[in-house]
Structure 1
Amino acid sequence: MIYLYGLIPTAEAVKSPLSSLKGLDDEEHVYTIPINDVTAVVCLLNSDKYSEEILQQKMENDMDWLKEKAFHHHETLAALYSGYTVIPLKFGTIYNSEESLKETIAPKNNVVIHTFETLKRHEEWNMKVYCDDQKLMQHVTDHDEVVEQKRQEIESLPKGRQYFEKKKLDKFISQQLEEEKYRLCKSVHDQLLQYATNEAVKKNWGKDMTGLQESMVWNSAFMLPKEAIEEFLEEIKKSEPALLEKGLRVEVSGPWPPYHFSNIS
């Protein structure tokens, strides 16, 4: 079976031959298959060990295996990205034979070449925002006019009713907290759109994935023209002090292989 990492221009592959990289099974090596103007970067897999059914079972039931192999996939693409224009394929893209791979890629030659040309002028950058919930909650509690008004109303109530109204207030503050997280993150994201030709808001990672005490509250990717990257980064720097004061920390990273903006169906 053929495991497909990604696609690179054949002209670049001819000019700079692929360096030695281990394959997904840590036995076979990564190699290339030229298909007209497009070259596929692949490795061989034993069909007895890597059938579609076995892969599906592994991905659903063996998290350690999945993390190891997904990291290998990413590291291979990162290595390719350092030397070539790359269209990365999703983890687990497998063909039954070299012929079936060629039959799929060859008709898309013009579309892939057009994508390469776009990617040469752009880079993918990511922005993640993490939140110290206690710090932001304190800010909401201290500065939200509606919260203050409700607190004053509760203090004027009989003692017996105050307990239940305070419970309602706590729930209201939690709602305000979530709304404030979204509002602040969306504001930064929207401000950055002026520099991007494309963008994507992605699913937040849990603490088990990040290993951090803070919660990830925003996760977005931007396709940036290379000439706009410096301004993009400066814009983030300008927004950071006000966010930090409220308990939000911005983490920007890049450039990355263009996972989100090079989809070839």
Structure 2
Amino acid sequence: MPLIYVFGFVPEGNEKPGLPGIEPQTEVAYVTSDGISAACCEVPESDYDQEALQTNVENMHWLKDRAYHHHHIMHELQQHASMVIPLSFGTVYEKKEGLLSLLNERAADMKRLFSELQGKQEWSMKLYADRSVFDPQFQQTEADIQAKYEEIEQLPRGKQFFEKKKLSNWLKERADQELKKKGEQLHSLLEPHTSDSIRKKVWEKKLSGRTEDMVWNGVYLFKDEEAAKAAADILRGEQEKLTKEETGIKIEAAGPWPPYHFAVLEEKETTS
């Protein structure tokens, strides 16, 4: 018996036809109730029941294309409907009745979200630093750091080794603080143009796939398209300054995305 894979929700009347489903030879269909349409498709129980799905998502070969396709469908719906409530990859219902029940119970909450998100855009802003460039440049421009080096040079040779090691650790902390400060400065420049923002955990290199350190990771819900353009202009100007100063810092902004971080349906409280 097939299960129902759900991509997300759009207002009734904003459905986009002809989208391919999550599996080959399937197509996105819509289940509609109380003014809300769920974009969904049938999937085989053998791959998408709870146990099978948990196993499959650990298989990167199986997951990669499907996760990308899920995001692609959400982007297509966002472009077509201008507002969408995206769901995470792997949201599955056993029966149509369960999905209809959700639509009926949460229709008012979804309509409120659609109203709040109308015309707004989600973007991400990440900050990367090439530490082989930034750290030496930072040390050269800090007067107190140069003074500490000069103090160490006056010490006996045996003590210099340990003091230089302590100084190296201290310098790393100072450089970390300076990079965080730069991220906060950029964040504060974007804030006036946003309705909401979220500071996220920075990724390790094995996750980002980059040689540089990620030193800032934020997502921003801009008030409208003009606000997003204004923010892009600000970041462009800031990047020009950073490049001119040879800081090794790179700003990467991307979007607009479906509002994964801001179109969140709060859990309903239950009473016993």
- Give the TM-score taking structure 1 as reference length: 0.92
Aligned pair count reads 260
Q: Is the 8 A contact 2:47 2:56 kept in 1?
A: no
Q: Is the 8 A contact 1:140 1:176 kept in 2?
A: no
Q: State the one-letter code of the partner of 1:22.
A: P
Instruction: Report runs of 4+ in structure 1 exceeding 6 Å deviation.
Output: none
Q: State the one-letter code of the partner of 1:76.
A: I
Q: CA deviation at 1:213?
A: 2.5
The residue that corresponds to 2:74 in the other structure is 77
Q: Secondary structure, in 3 states, of the residue corresponding to 2:48? A: coil
Q: CA deviation at 1:56?
A: 1.3
| 2:223 is the alignment partner of 1:222 | no
| 2:57 is the alignment partner of 1:55 | no
The residue that corresponds to 1:164 in the other structure is 162
Q: Secondary structure, in 3 states, of the residue corresponding to 1:223? A: strand
Q: CA deviation at 1:97?
A: 0.8
Instruction: For structure 1, list consecutive stretches of 5 or more residues without a partner in the other structure.
Output: none
Q: Is the 8 A contact 1:198 1:224 kept in 2?
A: yes
Q: CA deviation at 1:208?
A: 4.1
Q: Is the 8 A contact 2:121 2:257 kept in 1?
A: yes
Mean Cα deviation higher: 116-125 or 200-209: 200-209
Q: 2: distance between equivalents of 1:64 and 1:199?
A: 33
> Match for 2:85 among 79, 84, 87?
87
Residue by residue over 1:32-86, the C-alpha shift from the partner in whole angstroms, topping out at 9 and shown as x without a partner, is 1111210000011111221111111222x31232222211110111111111121
Instruction: For structure 2, list consecutive stretches of 5 or more residues without a partner in the other structure.
Output: 267-272
Q: CA deviation at 1:205?
A: 3.4
Q: 2: distance between equivalents of 1:176 and 1:72?
A: 42
Q: Is the 8 A contact 1:124 1:258 kept in 2?
A: yes
Q: CA deviation at 1:22?
A: 2.2
The residue that corresponds to 1:256 in the other structure is 257
Q: Is the 8 A contact 1:125 1:252 kept in 2?
A: yes
CA RMSD across the alignment: 1.6
Q: CA deviation at 1:209?
A: 4.4
Q: Secondary structure, in 3 states, of the residue corresponding to 2:260? A: coil
Percent identity between the aligned chains? 31
- Give the TM-score taking structure 2 as reference length: 0.90
Mean Cα deviation higher: 207-216 or 102-111: 207-216
Q: Is the 8 A contact 2:48 2:92 kept in 1?
A: no
